[in-house]
Amino acid sequence: MGFFKGLRRGHTTDTVFAGVALLFGLFIVLIMGGIIYQLWLQSSVARQEFGWGVLTSSEYNPGAEEYGALSFIYGTLVTAALAILIAGPIGVGIAAYLVEIAPERVNRVLGFIVELLAAVPSIVYGLWGFFALAPFLRDYVVPPLQGVLGWTPLFSGTFFGATVFTASIVLAIMILPTVAAVSRDVLRAVPRDQREGMLALGATRWETFQRAVLPYAMNGVLGAVILGLGRAAGETMAVTFIIGNKPELFTSLFAQGATLASQIAGQFPEAGGVTLSFLILLGLILFVITILINICARLVVRLVSRVPKGGVRA
Amino acid sequence: MTMKRTEETMREEGRSGDREHRPNTRTTEVAGRSSGGVKSAEPVVTVENLSMYYGSFKALQDVNMRIDRNSVTALIGPSGCGKSTFIRSINRMHEIVPKARVEGKVILDGEDVYAPDVDPVRVRRKVGMVFQKPNPFPTMSIYDNVLAGIKLGGKRKKGELDEVVERTLRQAALWDEVKDKLKQGGTSLSGGQQQRLCIARTLAIEPEVILMDEPASALDPVSTQKIEDAMEDLKERYTVVIVTHNMQQAARISDYTGFFFIENMGDPGRLWEFDETSKMFSNPNRKETEDYVTGRFG
Amino acid sequence: MSSIHGNPSGYGRRKLMDRVMTTLAYLCAAAAIIPLTWIIVYVVIKGLGAWDAEFFTGLPQLFGDGGGVRNGIVGTLVIVGLATLMGVPIGVMAGIYLAEYGNNRFGTVVRFLADTMTGIPSIVVGIFAFGLIVVNTGGFSAFAGSVALALLMIPVITRTTEEIIRLVPDSIREASLGLGVSRWKTILRVVVPTALSGIVTGVLLAVARVAGETAPLILTILGTNFPISANIFDGPSTTLSLQIYQLGAQPSPEVVEVAWGAAMLLVLIVLGTSILARVIFRGQSVRGR
Ligand SMILES: Nc1ncnc2c1ncn2[C@@H]1O[C@H](COP(=O)(O)OP(=O)(O)OP(=O)(O)O)[C@@H](O)[C@H]1O
Ligand SMILES: [Mg+2]
C-alpha cells in the first residue's frame, strides 16, 4: 500500500502524518460502528424478550410487564409529520423571500436571525413552549380552531397545554432554520439564466419562481424538507417537556402523547433492568428511523447535482 | 405592415444622406431622417438619451437610436462597451440586477417603457429576448418549453397549442429535427438546437421586438447558419435587435448596425456610430468604426 | 397593438397572484422573526428576576426560594471544556484528512458517515456514551457527559474544517511545496493557519451547539442538586441545560424562576458564542479579499 511504499521511499514524516490523519478519519467510522454496536448490545435483553412483536404492540405498562413500542413510533412520526407540514412551506417561503425578494442587507440580517433560531437550545424551546406558547394556544388559538373544526376527531377534546399540538408547533419552529437554510442554498444555486429566461417571456416574479426556479430546485428543496423531518423525529428535550409523555395511539391533536426520544429522556433516570433495555431498544428504533430519513434526504440532494443543468451539450 | 420598406430603398436613403457625424447626436439625426422628407419608416423603439448605471458605475451614456419596424439591427463593438446593457434596458431586463438604473427614455410604440405606471412584465411580453447561453427549462419537455410563455396567459385549446408549437419551431428552423420527440426534455438537445428552441419559445409569445444577445456565440458554424436562416424569415414579422461579435454575421443579416465604443478606459460606453449596415461596413463616418469592422482592433 | 399601460383581461389575476405570493413570502420571513423575538424577550423577562447573588453562588433548593445554579455553571464549563478538548483535535484532524487525503473511496465513506452522524439524534449519541462509559465504569460521571458532547461536536467540526481547508487556494500549497517544505509541514504551518479563522468559527459553532445539549447528559451525568463531583470520572454532575429541565418541571414557582434564570444565562452563552463565531469569520473574509 501507499503507506509502506512512502515509508520505503523515505518521505517518512509525510507518510506518518498522512497515516495519522487517516487514523482520525478511521475514528469517525469507529464512532459510527460503536454507536450501532452499543445500541445493539444494550438493547439485547429487550430484543430477546419481546422479539419483533414489540414493533406492533401499543400496550406499554412496565408494571404489568407489557412493553410495546408502537405508540412511541406513532408519536414520533405524527409529531414530525405535523412539524414538517408547518415548517416545510414556511421554511421554503423564507428561502424564497431571501433569494428572490430581499435586498442584500435584509438578507444578511434575516439569515442571521434564522441562524440564531437554530442556536437556541432545545430545552429552552421546551420551557418556552410549556410556559408561554401553550397558554397562548389555549387562550387564542384553540378556541377558534375548535369552533370551526371541533367536530373532527383531530381537534376534539379539552386542550391542556402540554399536547401533541403544542409539541408539533414547537418542533416546527425548531426545524424551520434547517428547512430555510438548506432550501436557501438550493434556490441560490439555480442559475440566473433560468430566471431570466422565464422573466423574458413576460412572467411575473411569482410565475418565474413557480415555473422556472422551483421546478429546477425541486429535488434540493425536497431534500431540505426531508432533512427537517429527520431533525424533528430526533428532537428530544423540547418534546419531552411539552408532549405530556403519555404512551397512546392518540387521534386528537389536543391529546397527550409520547415520542421515542421523549420516552427515553423522560424515563431513563428511573429505569433499570428490562425497562432500561427497552428504552435503549427505542433508541435503536429511533436511530434506524432517523438514519433512513437522512440517507433519503442526502440521496435526493445528491440527485440534484446530477440533474442536467440546462447547459450546452453540443 | 404597410410601413415595411424594402432593403433597396433603405440603402438608397443611406447613401443619399450626407450628414455631419457627431457621436452623441448621431441617432437624433437618424431619427430626424424621417422628418427630413424621406419616406417614413415607422419606429418601433426609439431610445432617447439613455444612460445606464450599475450602482455608481456609469456603463452607458446618452444613447439615441431609432429601431424601425421589421428591420434587423445589429449591435457591434468591443467587449464591455455596453451592448448587453443596452439591449437589456429595452425590455427592462436589467432590473433583476440590484442597483442597476436607467436615465433617459425608451419609447415603445409611442409609450415610454419607463413611465411610472408601466409594468415591466407587460413590456417583456412585447419585447422578447434570447440570451447568449441557451437556457431551456430542464424540467420541461420540448413541447412545454415552447409554450412556457403562452401558458402564463391562461388555458388554451390543445389544438391551438399544437399549432403554435409547430409554427414557431418551423420559424426557428427546428421543427424537422424535433417533431418526433416533442415530449423529450428540453436539455436533451444539442446546444444549437437548444438555442433555436429558445428562439421558438420567444416567438410563441408573439412579441413585436426580439432582442438577441450574441445568440450564436456559443454555437458551431452549422447551428449558427441555421439560426441566421431563421432570422431571415423572422424579419417578415418581427423587429430584431441582435448583438454580435461576428462582423460577417452583422453584415449578412442586418439592415442597420450600431457600433458601441469606449474611447478611454473607465469611460461609459457610447453609441459611436449608427447607420445602415451597408454604409457602416463600406464607408463609415468615423475612423474607429472602420478600424473595428475591418478587424484592425477589438 | 396592445398597450403596455393598464391591465388587459387575464393579467389582473396574474398580477394579483404575484402580489399575494409576495405578501406570503414576507409573512414567512416574519414567521422566523416572531418566535425568536418572543423567546428571547420572554426568557429575559422571566429570567432577569432570578439573577441575584444567590443565583450564581447558591445550589438549587427545591423547597424555599429556589436557590442558585452554581453547580450547573461550573458543570457546564467543565463538561463543555472537556468535550472541546477531546472533540476539537479529533474533528480538525479528521477534517484535514478529508480535505487533504480524502479524495478516494475511503474518504467518501468517512464524509458520508460524518454527514450522517450530524443527523443522529443527540439522545442516541447519549445512549452510546452510556453504554461505552457509564456501564463500563459503573457510574455516571462528568467524563461520560463530555464524551457524549465531544461525539456530537466531531462531525460538525470535521465537515466545516474540511470545507474551509478546501477553500485554501492550491497556489498557496504549491508555493510552500515549491520551497521544498514537506507536505505535512505545509499543511500544519501554511494551510491550517490560512484557514484558521474558518476552523475557529466551526469550533465555536459546535461548542454553541453542544453547550445547550441536554438529552445525552441525562444518560451520562444524570444531574444533581449538590455540588458536582470533584472527580470527573466518578459521580453525578450537572449543567445549566440539565438544570433547566429538572428545575423547570418542579411545582414551586420559585424553583421554576431559577430555571428561567438558567435559561437566560444559557441563551446568553449560546447566542453569544454563535455571534462571536460569525464576527470572527466575517472579519476574516473581509481581510481575505
Ligand atoms: N451586473 C453588473 N454589475 C456591475 N457592472 C456591470 C454589470 N453588468 C455589466 N457591467 C459593466 O457594464 C459594462 C458594460 O457591460 P456589458 O455586459 O453591457 O458589455 P458588452 O458590450 O455586452 O460586452 P460583451 O461583448 O463582453 O458581452 C462593463 O464595464 C461591465 O463590467
Ligand atoms: Mg454582452
Domain boundaries, chain A: 1-42, 53-305
The beta strands (E) that lie in A133-223 are given as none
The cell numbers describing C206, all together, are: 459546535
Topology (CATH level 3) of domain A53-305: MetI-like fold (1.10.3720)
Centre of ligand 2 from the C-alpha of residue C134, in Å = 67
The answer to whether residue B188 sits within a structural domain is no
The better pLDDT of the pair A284, B96 is held by A284
User: What is the predicted pLDDT for the residue at A6?
Assistant: 53
C245-248 contacts at long range (C-beta below 8 A, 24 or more positions apart): C245/A123, C245/A126, C245/A237, C245/A240, C245/A241, C245/C214, C245/C218, C247/C60, C247/C66, C248/A123, C248/A126, C248/A127, C248/A130, C248/A241
- The residue whose CA is least distant from atom 26 of ligand 1 is B79
Per-residue pLDDT tens over the stretch A174-232 = 999 999 999 999 999 999 999 999 999 999 999 999 999 999 999 999 999 999 999 99
pLDDT band of B237, cuts 50, 70, 90: confident
Q: Is pLDDT at A18 greater than 90 in this prediction?
A: no
Residue C226 and residue C183 share a domain: yes
**Do A202 and B137 count as a contact with CB atoms less than 8 A apart?**
no
CATH number of the domain residue B45 falls in: 3.40.50.300
Co-location of C77 and C19 in the same domain: no
Q: Which residue has the higher pLDDT, B245 or A3?
A: B245
Q: In this complex, is the C-beta atom of B153 within 8 Å of any C-beta atom belonging to chain C?
A: yes
Kindly report which listed range (A228-237, B32-41, B179-188, C257-266) carries the lowest average pLDDT score: B32-41
In this structure, the residue with its CA closest to atom 22 of ligand 1 is B84
Q: Is C10 on the interface with B (CB under 8 A)?
A: yes
Q: Which residue has the higher pLDDT, B272 or B234?
A: B272
Extended beta strands in C69-185, E state = none
**Per-residue pLDDT at B10:** 41
Q: How far is C177 from chain B (nearest CA, A)?
A: 38
Mean pLDDT of chain A: 89
Q: Which residues of chain C have a CB within 8 Å of the CB of A94?
A: 25, 28-29, 31-32
pLDDT tens digits for range A144-167: 999 899 888 889 888 888 999 999
Name the β-bridge partners of B211: B129, B241
Residues C250, C125, single domain; the answer is: yes
Q: What is the pLDDT of residue A86?
A: 96
Chain B touching partners, 3 or more CB pairs below 8 A: A, C
Q: Are A195 and A186 in contact (CB under 8 A)?
A: no
Q: Structural domain tally of chain B?
A: 1
Span between the terminal Cα atoms of chain A, in Å: 42
pLDDT for C2 equals 61
Query: Would the pLDDT of B36 be above 90?
Result: no
How many CB atoms neighbour CB A81 within 10 A?
Answer: 13
Q: Are residues C56 and C182 in the same domain?
A: yes
C185, closest residue in chain A (CA to CA): A14
Helices (H) and strands (E) in chain C, counts: 14, 0
Instruction: Work out which ligand 1 atom sits closest to the CA atom of B81.
Output: 21
Please state, in angstroms and rounded to a whole number, the distance separating the CA atoms of residues C224 and C259.
14
Residue B73 scores a pLDDT above 90: yes
Q: What is the ipTM of this complex?
A: 0.92
Q: Which phi and psi (to 5°) does residue C100 adopt?
A: -95, -30
Nearest to B50 by CA among B99, B83, B95, B86: B86
What's the CA gap between B223 and B201, in Å, rounded? Answer: 17
Say if residue B17's pLDDT is above 90. no
Are the C-beta atoms of B23 and B273 separated by less than 8 Å? yes
The four Cα atoms A81, A83, A84, A86 give a dihedral, to 10 degrees, of 120
| pLDDT at res. A8 | 54
The helix (run of H) or strand (run of E) holding residue A60 is strand A60-61
Which residue of C lies nearest to B208 if distances are taken between CA atoms? C1
C23: domain range?
A: 2-49
Start-end of H helices in B109-174: 120-126, 142-147, 158-171
Cα–Cα distance for residue pair B74/B274, rounded to 1 Å: 10
Is residue B24's pLDDT more than 60?
A: no
Predicted local distance difference test score (pLDDT) of residue A264: 96
Residue B175 maps to a domain: no
Contact A313 B198 (CB under 8 A): no
Number of domains in chain C: 2
- Mean pLDDT, contiguous 10-residue spans, chain C (289 residues): 64 91 95 93 94 92 88 96 96 93 91 91 96 92 96 94 91 88 88 91 93 95 88 91 94 93 96 90 48
Are both C40 and C164 inside the same structural domain?
A: no
pLDDT digits (tens, 9 = 90+) for B131-176: 999 999 999 999 999 999 999 887 788 899 999 999 999 988 899 9
Average pLDDT in chain C? 90
Residues C155 and C25 occupy one common structural domain: no
User: Nearest CA of chain C to the CA of B22: how many Å?
Assistant: 33
Please provide the distance, in angstroms rounded to a whole number, between the alpha carbons at the two ends of chain B: 38
| Best of B76, B84, B243 for a ligand 1 pocket test (most atoms within 8 Å of beta carbon) | B84
Full domain range(s) for residue B238? 2-132+208-293
Which region among A279-293, A300-314, C50-64, C209-223 has the lowest average model confidence (pLDDT)?
Answer: A300-314
Give the confidence band of B233 by pLDDT, cuts at 50, 70, 90: confident
Residues A307-311 have a mean pLDDT of 36
B111 at the C interface (CB within 8 A)?
Answer: yes
* C95 shares a domain with C14: no
C147/C43 same-domain check? no
Query: Are both C208 and C263 inside the same structural domain?
Result: yes
Test A310 with B187 for CB contact under 8 angstroms.
yes
Give the residue with greater pLDDT, A276 vs C7: A276
Question: pLDDT band at residue A2, thresholds of 50, 70 and 90?
Answer: low
- For residues B186 and B138, the answer to whether their CB atoms sit within 8 Å is yes
pLDDT of residue B266: 84
Q: Supply A165's cell numbers.
A: 399540538
Residue B146 domain flag: no
CATH number at residue C274: 1.10.3720.10
In-domain check, residue B165: no
> C9 touching B, CB under 8 A?
no
A207 interface with B at CB cutoff 8 Å: yes
CA distance B38 to B55: 41
- Judged by DSSP in three states, C50 sits in coil
Asked if pLDDT for residue A15 goes beyond 90, the answer is: no
Evaluate if residue A121 carries a pLDDT over 90. yes
Same domain, C35 and C135: no
Identify the helix (H) or strand (E) that includes residue B76. strand B72-76
pLDDT at C46: 94
| CA distances, B112 to each of A107, B25, B52 (Å) | 33, 20, 16
| A45: pLDDT strictly greater than 70 | yes
pLDDT, position A250:
92
Helix, strand, coil tally for chain C in percent (to 5): 75, 0, 25
Is residue C157 a contact partner of residue C91, using CB atoms and an 8 Å limit? yes
State the average pLDDT over residues B274-285: 92
**Which tens digit of pLDDT belongs to each residue from A247-263?**
989 999 999 999 999 99
Tell me: do C34 and C56 sit in the same domain: no
The three three-digit cell numbers of residue A41, written as one number: 448490545
Mean pLDDT of B26-35: 38
- Verify that C113 and C210 share a domain, yes or no: yes
